[in-house]
Amino acid sequence: MQGYGDGGDELAQLLSTMHAIEAACSSIQMHVNPAAAEATILALSQSHHPYKTCQFILENSKVANARFQAAGAVRDAAIREWGFLSSDDRRNLISFCLCFALQHADSHESYVQAKVSSVAAQLIKRGWLDFSADEKEQFFYQIKQATLGTHGLNVQFIGIGIMEYLISEFSPSTSSAMGLPKEFHEQCRRSLELDYLKVFYGWARDASLNVSRKIAGSDSESLEVKVCNAGMCLMLQILTWEFRYNHNGTKSINIFSAGVRNDNVLNNKTECILVQPGPAWHDILISSGDIVWLLNLYAVLRQKFSIERSWIDCPIAVSARKLIVQFCSVTGTIFPSANGSQENYLVQLLSGIILWVEPIDAISKEIESGKSESELLDGCRALLAMATVTTPAVFNSLLKSIRPFGTLTLLSTLMGGVIKVLFSHNNEEETWSWEARDILLDIWTTLLAPLDSSGSGISFPPEGAAAAAHLFDLIVNSELKAASASVYNDDSDSDYLQPSISAMDERLSSYALIARASMDVTVPFLARLFAERVSHLHQGKGISDPTETLEELCSLLLIIGHVLADEGEGETPLIPDSVKRNFSDILEPDKHPVILLSSIIIRFAEQSLDPGLRTSFFSPRLMEAVIWFLSRWSATYLLTREEFNNKNDGSLPGSRHQLQSQDSTKTVAIYFSEYNYGKLVLDAVVRISIITFTAYPGENYLQGLACHQLLHALVRQKNICVHLVALESWRELSNAFANEKMLFMLNASHQRSLAQTLVLSASGLGNSEAANQYVRDVMGHMTKYLVDVSSRNDIRSISEQPDTILSITCLLERLRGAARASEPRTQKSIYEMGLSVLNAILVLLEVYKDESSVVYLLLKFVVVWVDAQITYLEATETATIIGFCMRLLQLYSSHNIGKISLSFSSSLLNDAKTEKYKDLRALLQLLSALCFKDLVDFSSDSIETQGTNVSQVVFYGLHIVTPLISLELLKYPKLCHDYFSLLSHMLEVYPEMVGQLNTEAFSHVMDTLNFGIHHQDSEVVNMCLRALKALASYQYKETAAGKVGLGSHASDPRNPNGGTENRIFGRFLRELLQFLLFEDYSPDLVGSAADALFPLILCEQSLYQMLGNELIERQANPTFRLRLTTALQFLTSANQLTSMLDRVNYQRFRKNLTNFLIEVRGFLQTK
Amino acid sequence: MSDEEHHFESKADAGASKTYPQQAGTIRKNGYIVIKNRPCKVVEVSTSKTGKHGHAKCHFVGIDIFNGKKLEDIVPSSHNCDVPHVTRIDYQLIDISEDGFVSLLTDSGGTKDDLRLPTDESLLAQIKDGFAEGKDLVVSVMSSMGEEQICGLKDIGPK
């Protein structure tokens, strides 16, 4: 890179290239032959040492685009040729870029400057590990001078820009690709964070600070403002850096920092990112008093620009506010423990922020009349950040030094103001009040959620409770107003309750948290509101339209359901802690607010049993809300187990206070227990469910809610089942289900669920005989009908009648439901139930071979039934089932192989594909269920006594099913999952059977395994690896013992004479190494990959050597080459690894592989 | 409730009927339904309500099983819909005539000669080619509401 221009030829050459590039740039802009133009530009960046040309273009071209492209070419070429450049060249390139960017700072084409700055940043990073500290110092000296404003504002602006590019290059998530090991990027990041980041922050701060003094006198477009804004953006960027190397570590919780919460549990819930730079930053962030300066700056901005309305959204105001919010999230070890420094710091911030949100009424009025809402929203975000880093008590006390009330009161007032505006807009989405409400609710959740879950650990200030009660009052009243107003808008989304619940769920749970902060006020309040609405309904009966009141009741039921009970999410929810905290002194049941509120609602629900009241009030939607409430409520309160009795004998390490508080929960629990009103309420719940089946024809959604949620949840608890089976109403239900046609009108899947529920309730009966008899009584008629139909002579002609199809569909669904409810106690009767229809099933499978929906139901029933039964069966029974499954498989495959269907419509064809997939999946599940017999077997004798060999059957099944499974079908995730779990299970348990597969089936199995290893789902990969391990270790052990192992299969069947290339295990060894070294995968897979790799290496030792050598030779860098060689050696020799396939060796190899990957993946994988 | 319309015990002579009434709420996707007097396969069922506190109604999208046209209908979910009686019979293919008719072997040993070749090109080609190669082909004939059509093909030829 000598100076240019010394020879006329050379100058001519440079000029001609420049003109060519300029021409190319302008032709791209005008869309004239863009391909050729792009090729010209590409040629420049791909040419050898194009730096001189590029510099010439940068300095001389008048076309900005050409300069831009030249800068890009410098970057591409330098990154590519970096290794061959002399260190002088490298330095000169960087200096040139820096100087160029800074010298042309006042140019109008700022994008060229930006590009050159970014090139400089990338080159600095590229050489980061090679440059000495002095060399880096030289670059940074230049940048520092520029940044601090020594050369004027324009240069300062560019200087700050270069720093921004630098930081984003060094942060792994935003860095650009350089084709270098990931290790390199990580080293750069570490070095920058430890040695430079704080220094950079200092420059950015100084730059903004110096300029900000002049801002007061300049207008919003001036250069000073621009520079100040850039400086603040840079500070913000540094504060959002993901700090990793803060010396004390973030994970160690400092238990001494009083009142400052360090739990990271909450962080993911809110959008607020915590800034935890560590103690080294204390001087520059905290004690420097930056926040004072920043708040003052913002105050000046406010005053200065308050005449223009749009100032709030001008860039400098926005970044100042963002920076302030970011300062609120600073936490962790940066604050010395136990001296309240974080509180003081937050109070300081709050004193500035409070002006943004107070007084809310005036502010919201201004916003409504056109002022921007961003300041208010940022204020809310700052409060959220503060709530995240403090406890509720500390949070509340922050404001007390500035105002006569606490922060929680401010929060309540603030939210009240926002909600008033929100509901005056009819709950429209995406208004500012909507957003503000969501942020404020997040704050409440952040403050209250740990209180609700952990109980006594954190206390909530009394002032907060009062504020919460007040706020809840406002929220509920607003929601009710919104509900009654929404009755007449034809928004079809909200017609059903469930969608509206899930849309509102997050909001409702936040409401519930707020209500629970002061239950002594909110529960009686809710009871009053509900009673008022009900009496209003009765007064207006027949006179006025009740719809508005109905909607209000729906809304109240949702809110009350959330306040009183938690969602179980599959587990039995407990009575919320706040119930016991708030009512610890109330022991008389008829005064307990929770009991009073529950009773009011249950009494109201019972009114739906009266036909007259039902038709006038209980619309399907209101019934949905009632059923929803009953299921949520009864899971928590109804007939709960009397654990309280046992717990309370004083042996618990509880204080007196705790005992007392448990007494209060006990009051509620006992009231709804079997000794009191529990049974009556249960009876009412069952009767109300029956009503939804009989009195609401065609209301699928409502009936589904009653089947799947309410009844299903009831029978999950054994203590409830005991009472259920004794109820007259329950007997009515099971009678109706068994004998009456009416319940055939329910949706088929509801019938399935109902059958399951009824059979499950048998567990409440005293002995096994009674339980089995109960199941027979419920299911007997149905099996008889199926047997009768299937044995009729005219089965073919009647089978196609829609009514026959309907009955058979319903019955199969019911049988499937019953089979799903198998329990040891009822196993016998359910086995008999299935056994009696086996023949019928084969007949129906034949008859309905073209009716795919019936075929699917038949398969599905068999799968569920076999799955539930197989482990209990005796040898003869197993033989029967296995024989039956065999016939089923043969029949199915004879119907489906070679079949072509025609359809005019592509959507019908797609449906047909989906149906086929579902069928196959069912068959795979059936095979897996059969396999299970070999693992878990509760029968008294071994199945071998009957000469049944499960593995043979399953492999036979696999022979039948595999031709139907194409790689295309494996794209269905569930099918794929089932297929591979079956495959890995079979290969693990019966590897010897693989050798007996025919060539076609074997190669199909291998192809699918290969497909599975590259699957995205790590569980599928894991299963494939397990299968591979099993196969390879089997092969190794067999061949070591002098046997054939997989024999001819071990070489690729399609090319049996090929060399090592074509050996099955060689192919997998290659694939697996490639996968481990170069691809991205979850670290969880390393263990199972090691288990598969180890036997593979042993099987194919010579190939492994060859692959290892190949890898080493491909490494150009001598250091890496050495590291790789040593690592490869260690992989197979460290930890006294021997070539025995036993547990110890597998463990050793796992360790070796992990170390190996840690060592080499850093440089083998590139970015 | 319309209990009487539900035939739990099927009558032997009911095969003569072309359609059956069934409550709209019980008709599922992949079932059949009559829309605008055409037999359809249901490809989509959705439900909605008549106003917030009103009753449910079902919205069906069906595809005509003979001509593939899409049809839609809305029915209150407690009301009845007509469900067509759809039958499928397999016949062995004996001959293809010049004018596009096929000759099929019935169960009773007679022949059925009144059906045309399908218009679907891929199926048509498979039938013609398979027949020309001398394969044993079984065609599946679908009929409903007085119409019938070849809808599928299976090669049962030499194993």
What's the pLDDT tens digit per position in A1072-1123?
888 888 887 777 888 888 999 998 888 888 888 888 888 888 887 788 888 8
The residue in chain B having the minimum alpha-carbon distance to the alpha carbon of residue A697 is B78
pLDDT band at A179 (very low <50, low <70, confident <90, very high): confident
**Hey, are the CB atoms on A803 and B20 less than 8 Å from each other?**
yes
> Comparing A125 with A369, which gets the higher pLDDT?
A125
Q: Is the pLDDT of residue A1160 over 50?
A: yes
The residue in chain B having the minimum alpha-carbon distance to the alpha carbon of residue A693 is B1
Q: What is the pTM of this model?
A: 0.79
**Closest residue to B20, CB basis, from A741, A801, A902:** A801
- Which is it for strands B38-49 and B101-105: parallel, antiparallel or unpaired? unpaired
**Hey, are the CB atoms on B47 and A700 less than 8 Å from each other?**
yes
A852-880 pLDDT, tens digit each: 888 999 999 999 999 998 888 888 888 88
The residue in chain A having the minimum alpha-carbon distance to the alpha carbon of residue B85 is A801
**Hey, are the CB atoms on A551 and B53 less than 8 Å from each other?**
yes
Chain A residues in contact with B67 (beta carbon < 8 A): 904
**Hey, are the CB atoms on A908 and B79 less than 8 Å from each other?**
no
* Residues counted in chain B: 159
**Closest residue to B31, CB basis, from A494, A697, A853:** A853
Helix, strand, or coil (residue A629): helix
How far CA A816 is from CA of A520, A676, A755, A830, B139, in Å, comes to 48, 37, 8, 10, 33
How far CA A315 is from CA of A105, A162, A230, A320, A326, in Å, comes to 21, 19, 9, 8, 16
- For the CA atoms of A574, A576, A577, A580, the dihedral, rounded to the nearest 10 degrees, stands at -100
- The 3-state DSSP composition of chain B as helix, strand, coil percent (nearest 5) reads 15, 50, 35
Sheet holding B56-64, edge to edge: B32-35, B38-49, B56-64, B70-76
> How high is the pLDDT of residue A642?
53
How big is chain B by its Cα radius of gyration, in Å? 20
> Would you give the end-to-end CA distance of chain A in angstroms?
29
Residues 6+ apart with CB under 8 A from B126: A900, B153
* A898–B contact, CB cutoff 8 A: yes
Q: Judge whether A370 and A429 are in contact, CB under 8 Å.
A: no
Question: Can you tell me the distance from the alpha carbon of A533 to that of A593, in angstroms, rounded to the nearest whole number?
Answer: 18
Report the candidate in A202, A197, A182 with the shortest Cα–Cα distance to residue A246: A197
Chain A residues in contact with B122 (beta carbon < 8 A): 902
Pairs of residues, one from chain A and one from chain B, whose beta carbons lie less than 8 Å apart = 161
Q: Is the pLDDT of residue A662 over 80?
A: no
Q: Is the pLDDT of residue A1130 over 90?
A: no
Q: How buried is A107 (Cβ within 10 angstroms: 0-12 exposed, 13-18 middle, 19+ buried)? A: middle
Angle subtended by helix axes A802-820 and A768-790, to nearest 10: 160
**Hey, are the CB atoms on A898 and B43 less than 8 Å from each other?**
no
**Closest residue to A748, CB basis, from B28, B48, B63:** B28
Report the candidate in A663, A750, A742 with the shortest Cα–Cα distance to residue A702: A750
A281-339 pLDDT, tens digit each: 888 888 888 888 888 888 888 877 666 666 777 888 888 999 999 998 888 888 887 66
The amino acid at A933: K
Provide the token pair at A414.
């603030």
**Closest residue to B10, CB basis, from A496, A798, A915:** A798
Best residue of A696, A785, A803 to probe chain B, by most B CBs closer than 10 Å: A803
**In Å, how far is A737's CA from the nearest CA of chain B?**
13
**Closest residue to B126, CB basis, from A798, A802, A900:** A900
The residue in chain A having the minimum alpha-carbon distance to the alpha carbon of residue B10 is A804
Q: Is the pLDDT of residue A235 over 70?
A: yes
Q: Which of A31-35, A933-937, A1048-1052 has the highest mean pLDDT?
A: A31-35
Provide the token pair at B18.
């072309």
Mean pLDDT of A1015-1034: 88
Q: Judge whether B44 and B71 are in contact, CB under 8 Å.
A: no
The residue in chain B having the minimum alpha-carbon distance to the alpha carbon of residue A802 is B85
**Hey, are the CB atoms on B52 and A494 less than 8 Å from each other?**
yes
Chain A residues in contact with B17 (beta carbon < 8 A): 801
Angle subtended by helix axes A497-516 and A519-539, to nearest 10: 140
Question: Can you tell me the distance from the alpha carbon of A252 to that of A794, in angstroms, rounded to the nearest whole number?
Answer: 78
The amino acid at A853: S
The amino acid at A355: L
In this structure, what are the phi and psi dihedrals at residue B136, rounded to the nearest 5 degrees? -85, 115
Chain B residues in contact with A802 (beta carbon < 8 A): 19-20, 22, 32, 83-85
Residues 6+ apart with CB under 8 A from A87: A130
How far CA A1115 is from CA of A84, A321, A966, A1121, A1160, in Å, comes to 16, 51, 40, 6, 11
The residue in chain B having the minimum alpha-carbon distance to the alpha carbon of residue A808 is B8
> How high is the pLDDT of residue B73?
94
**Hey, are the CB atoms on A852 and B30 less than 8 Å from each other?**
yes
The residue in chain A having the minimum alpha-carbon distance to the alpha carbon of residue B8 is A807
* Residues counted in chain A: 1167
> Comparing B28 with A909, which gets the higher pLDDT?
B28
- Residue A618: Cβ within 10 Å count: 24
Angle subtended by helix axes A519-539 and A547-564, to nearest 10: 160
Chain A residues in contact with B27 (beta carbon < 8 A): none
pLDDT band at A772 (very low <50, low <70, confident <90, very high): very high
Point out which residues pair with B141 in neighbouring strands.
B89, B150
Q: Which of A106-110, A617-621, B131-135 has the highest mean pLDDT?
A: A617-621
**Hey, are the CB atoms on A801 and B41 less than 8 Å from each other?**
no
Q: Judge whether B25 and B78 are in contact, CB under 8 Å.
A: yes
Provide the token pair at B34.
């009559």
A43-71 pLDDT, tens digit each: 888 888 888 899 999 888 888 889 999 99
Chain A residues in contact with B2 (beta carbon < 8 A): 745
Q: Is the pLDDT of residue A652 over 50?
A: no
Torsion-angle region of A997 (φ positive above 0: left; ψ -120 to 50: alpha; else: beta): beta
**In Å, how far is A962's CA from the nearest CA of chain B?**
18
Q: Judge whether A932 and A871 are in contact, CB under 8 Å.
A: yes
Mean pLDDT of A673-679: 79
The amino acid at A1138: T
**Closest residue to A902, CB basis, from B79, B120, B156:** B120
Q: Judge whether A1049 and A1010 are in contact, CB under 8 Å.
A: no
Q: Judge whether A759 and A775 are in contact, CB under 8 Å.
A: yes
The residue in chain B having the minimum alpha-carbon distance to the alpha carbon of residue A694 is B1
- Which contiguous run of DSSP H or E holds residue B59? strand B56-64
Cis bond upstream, residue A359 (ω within 30): yes
Q: Judge whether A1025 and A1076 are in contact, CB under 8 Å.
A: no
Chain A residues in contact with B15 (beta carbon < 8 A): 794, 797-798, 800-801
Q: Is the pLDDT of residue A646 over 60?
A: no
H-only helix segments in A870-900: 875-896
Lookup result for tokens 């099955």: A1064
* A890–B contact, CB cutoff 8 A: no
Q: How buried is A289 (Cβ within 10 angstroms: 0-12 exposed, 13-18 middle, 19+ buried)? A: exposed
Report the candidate in A903, A842, A893, A790 with the shortest Cα–Cα distance to residue B142: A903
**Hey, are the CB atoms on B63 and A850 less than 8 Å from each other?**
no
- Please determine, for the modelled complex, whether the ipTM score is greater than 0.85: no
- SS3 string, A270-328, reads CCCCCECCCHHHHHHHHCCCHHHHHHHHHHHHHHHHCCCHHHHHCHHHHHHHHHHHHHH
**Closest residue to B85, CB basis, from A800, A905, A911:** A800
Q: Is the pLDDT of residue A501 over 60?
A: yes
Provide the token pair at A1015.
């699957």
How far CA A790 is from CA of A796, A797, A843, A896, B13, in Å, comes to 9, 12, 6, 22, 17
Helix, strand, or coil (residue B89): strand
Point out which residues pair with B90 in neighbouring strands.
B140
**Hey, are the CB atoms on A801 and B55 less than 8 Å from each other?**
no
> How high is the pLDDT of residue A426?
65
Angle subtended by helix axes A620-637 and A593-606, to nearest 10: 140
Q: Judge whether A158 and A1148 are in contact, CB under 8 Å.
A: no
Provide the token pair at A252.
């160690």
Provide the token pair at A27.
């032709």
**Hey, are the CB atoms on A900 and B53 less than 8 Å from each other?**
no
Positive or negative, the CA dihedral A204, A207, A212, A215 is negative
**In Å, how far is A785's CA from the nearest CA of chain B?**
9
Q: Is the pLDDT of residue B159 over 80?
A: no
**Hey, are the CB atoms on B19 and A747 less than 8 Å from each other?**
no
A60-104 pLDDT, tens digit each: 888 888 999 999 999 988 888 888 888 888 889 999 999 998 888
Chain B residues in contact with A901 (beta carbon < 8 A): 151-152
Chain B residues in contact with A694 (beta carbon < 8 A): 1
> How high is the pLDDT of residue B61?
94
Q: Is the pLDDT of residue A548 over 70?
A: yes
> Would you give the end-to-end CA distance of chain B in angstroms?
54
The mean pLDDT value of chain A amounts to: 82
**In Å, how far is A543's CA from the nearest CA of chain B?**
18
How big is chain A by its Cα radius of gyration, in Å? 37
- Residue A463: Cβ within 10 Å count: 17
Lookup result for tokens 């330095």: A91
Question: Can you tell me the distance from the alpha carbon of A621 to that of A700, in angstroms, rounded to the nearest whole number?
Answer: 12
Q: Is the pLDDT of residue A596 over 80?
A: yes
Question: Can you tell me the distance from the alpha carbon of A93 to that of A131, in angstroms, rounded to the nearest whole number?
Answer: 13
Chain A residues in contact with B43 (beta carbon < 8 A): 907-908, 911
Mean pLDDT of A533-560: 89
* A846–B contact, CB cutoff 8 A: no
Helix, strand, or coil (residue B123): helix
Helix, strand, or coil (residue B30): coil
Question: Can you tell me the distance from the alpha carbon of A244 to that of A665, in angstroms, rounded to the nearest whole number?
Answer: 46
Q: Judge whether A542 and A492 are in contact, CB under 8 Å.
A: no
CA atoms within 13 A on the CB side of A908: 23
Best residue of B1, B45, B52 to probe chain A, by most A CBs closer than 10 Å: B52
